[in-house]
Amino acid sequence: MSHARTHCGYRTGGLWRAAGISFGLLVVGSGLALFAMVEFDERCMQGLTRGPGRFLRTRDQAFPPATVCEFDQGEVASFGGRAVPGTLLWAALAVMVGCLLVALLAECLDPRPGSRLVVPMSRGQKVARTGTAFLVTGSVFVLCYALAAWRLFTGPSSACSAGAGWSSHPPRTLECSFLPPQASCQYGSGLVRPMNPEWMAALATELVVPAALAGVGFVLAWRRWRAERRAACGSSNGAGGHLDVRSVAEDGAGQDHVDHGAAEDAQQRVAAPQVQSDGDGQGREGGHGLGPGQR
């Protein structure tokens, strides 16, 4: 009789699809917002983009990606900083993060059968699914982090001037950090600006969360699969041991039966000559006992 437990996993296909659709919308919207940021600050400084009052300064917004021109009586932002596009991007980000975190947390659990939210799934299928999630989220994190931090790995003290081909007066690196991947660069004019846009440094740091959750789910699934394999090997070895003991016992019983039969046959062969000798002796005694008249 088999006592193997039916393993299950949560139905996370809808969550993954929703996260994928939201991610696509987020990429498209962020791309448009980044394109709208090109030279937006220059237009504000040159007066091509007008605002309420006198122009003061510009700043970059991390998310939604936008350039904000500050005036003494208000602000004017590029495409990403406006109400409708900004709200849609925040909604897409919230849906993507929520679905992604719930799906990854569900992959870490080992539910019991009997619910409509679960589906039968072997340990090997669970390892394959969590491994795929870990591969995708980990690859996205490594790619984004490499794009944001590659200049730091060339040398933290010269990160601001790496890859730009400065002939003279390269920017100095005032301070830097690897998480988030960021550095403060001071140019020859005295202007201090960050090496990476704030949104890029924040994104490269925040992507470690889904990658870490996926990694935890993969490790848990792999450990459960390994424990099941060990238990299966142990039970099969135990069943083999019982069979060996039983066969040895049966062989011993059969040998005892053969030995007992051989002993009985030997006793019969020994008893038969004794009976025959007794009969011959009685015949001889009878012949010697004949009277003279019989002779």
Instruction: Report residue 6's pLDDT band, with 50, 70 and 90 as the boundaries.
Output: low
* DSSP β-ladder status, 172-178 and 181-186: antiparallel
Which pLDDT tens digit goes with each residue over 7-29? 777 788 888 889 889 888 988 98
Q: Which of 100, 103, 119, 102 is nearest to 111 (CA)?
A: 119
Based on its alpha-carbon atoms, the radius of gyration of the chain, rounded to whole angstroms, reads: 44
CB-facing half-sphere around the CA of 94: CA atoms within 13 A: 6
Question: Contact 185/173 with Cβ under 8 angstroms?
Answer: yes
Comparison of pLDDT for 276 and 217, the residue scoring more? 217
Q: What is the pLDDT of residue 177?
A: 85
Which pLDDT tens digit goes with each residue over 116-145? 877 787 778 888 888 888 898 889 889 989
Residues 6+ apart with CB under 8 A from 62: 197, 198, 199, 202
Q: What is the pLDDT of residue 294?
A: 40
Q: Which of 43, 31, 48 is nearest to 85 (CA)?
A: 31
Instruction: Report residue 180's pLDDT band, with 50, 70 and 90 as the boundaries.
Output: confident
Long-range contacts of 228-234 (CB under 8 A, 24+ apart): 228/123
DSSP state of 92: H
- Please determine, for residue 48, whether its predicted confidence score (pLDDT) is greater than 60: yes
- Residue with tokens 């679905």, as numbered in its chain: 99
- Please determine, for residue 288, whether its predicted confidence score (pLDDT) is greater than 50: no
Q: Which of 58, 30, 56, 31 is nearest to 42 (CA)?
A: 58
Which pLDDT tens digit goes with each residue over 143-177? 989 988 888 888 777 778 777 667 677 788 888 88
Token pair for 216: 């935890």
C-alpha–C-alpha distance, residues 98 and 21, integer Å: 13
Question: Contact 129/10 with Cβ under 8 angstroms?
Answer: no
Give residue limits of the domains in the chain. 8-113, 122-227
Backbone angles phi, psi at 290, to 5 degrees: -70, 140
- In a 10 Å sphere around its CB, with 0-12 CB exposed, 13-18 middle and 19+ buried, how is residue 182 labelled? buried
Q: What is the mean pLDDT of the chain?
A: 75
Question: Contact 104/133 with Cβ under 8 angstroms?
Answer: yes
